[in-house]
């Protein structure tokens, strides 16, 4: 069991052979991870902006595609698969905690 976990961890931490190929794993991680990070950031932005939720939703909707593109690019330029996973899950966790604080604080 420990040997399998170490081999998976080693495979995820190995840099790509060629810098010209992004790879399927990082592409999928960039698309869906970028979408998750962008939507969570835009949801947090709705809570931060003053006014009602109906009034505050316009700005996050306008910037969502831009935030998704930036997040996807940021994730896709990772040198290893493990860093791509970190760039997906760490900001998502931070945004989820911040959203939970705003929801529970009201």
pLDDT digits 0-9 by tens, 37-64 = 999 999 898 888 887 777 778 888 888 8
pTM to 2 decimal places: 0.82
Contact 25, 15 (CB under 8 A): no
Contact 75, 88 (CB under 8 A): yes
pLDDT at 38: 94
Contact 12, 80 (CB under 8 A): yes
In the predicted structure, residue 35 carries a pLDDT above the cut 90: yes
pLDDT at 36: 94
- Over its C-alpha atoms, the chain yields an Rg (Å, rounded) of 17
pLDDT at 15: 78
Model confidence at 4, pLDDT cuts 50, 70, 90, reads confident
């Amino acid at each position: 069991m420990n040997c399998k976990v170490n081999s998976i961890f080693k495979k995820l931490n190995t840099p790509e052979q060629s810098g010209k190929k992004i790879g399927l794993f990082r592409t999928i991680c960039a698309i869906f991870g970028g979408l998750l990070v962008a939507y969570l950031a835009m949801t947090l932005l709705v809570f931060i902006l003053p006014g009602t939720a109906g009034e505050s939703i316009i700005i996050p909707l306008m910037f969502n595609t831009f935030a998704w593109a930036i997040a996807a690019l940021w994730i896709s330029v990772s040198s290893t698969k493990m860093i791509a996973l970190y760039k997906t899950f760490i900001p998502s966790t931070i945004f989820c905690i911040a959203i939970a604080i705003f929801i529970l604080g009201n």
